[in-house]
Amino acid sequence: GRQLTMVQIPDRSRLNPALDLYREALTAAGARVQSHDLYPRPSGRPALSIRWLLVNAGKVDVIHFHWFQQLYLSGFRLTTAVRFSWFPAKLALARLLGFTISWTVHNLDPHERPHARIDALANRAMATAASVVFVDSDEARAIVRRTLRNVKQIVVAPHGNYIGVYPEGKPGELRRRLAIPEEAF
């Protein structure tokens, strides 16, 4: 009977309104999406810290991950390795403390991949920790199932739209500029 409380990581994005749209949809569905400063941490302190997990156990029900590379990535190989070594342990601690972990797989590989092996290990760790993984299509579900065999549950949640977020375009003009025929999908 109590309202579901969650955080999403990252909390916001200056480049893409998708996270704000997720927050709005979750709030409209009855969840309380709590703001935080877990990712990224300009202070240099560890993101998703053990202290935060201990303080928020029982207060936050779900930690929902969108992108998590910044939780272990650094400009230095050694620092990345050290941060990554804590990543699966923090996920395991979160589960032990009663948090539900969920993950929306926007892309299996980060756009920037200076540490491809560590990224693959991080995906496996997240797939193991997550109670549910969300994808946007049946094809994505098949790819995730093939790539990350340890996923417990995969739910297809079609991608939302950006209607009303960006100014309305003029499709005919854009098609001409991009040399896309009028009849093309």
pLDDT tens digit string along 130-166? 999 999 999 999 999 999 988 999 999 888 788 888 7
Q: Inform me whether the pLDDT recorded for 43 exceeds 60.
A: no
In eight-state DSSP terms, residue 22 is H
What are the strands, taking DSSP E only, across the chain?
5-9, 32-33, 62-65, 100-104, 132-135, 154-156
pTM score of the predicted model: 0.83
Closest residue by Cα to residue 9 from 121, 82, 90, 112:
90
Burial environment of residue 90 by CB neighbours within 10 A (0 to 12, 13 to 18, 19 or more): buried
Give the whole-angstrom CA distance, residue 99 versus residue 57: 7
CA distances from 97 to 8, 93, 94, 123, 127 (A): 17, 6, 5, 21, 18
What does the pLDDT read at residue 105? 94
Give the whole-angstrom CA distance, residue 159 versus residue 103: 14
Q: Inform me whether the pLDDT recorded for 27 exceeds 60.
A: yes
Q: Nearest 10 degrees: CA dihedral of 29, 33, 39, 40?
A: 90
In eight-state DSSP terms, residue 133 is E
What does the pLDDT read at residue 46? 56
Give 56-113 pLDDT, tens digit per residue.
Answer: 999 999 999 998 888 888 777 888 888 889 999 999 999 999 999 999 998 888 777 6
In eight-state DSSP terms, residue 98 is T
What does the pLDDT read at residue 95? 97
Radius of gyration of the chain (CA): 18
What does the pLDDT read at residue 75? 76
- The tokens describing 74, both together, are 């650094």
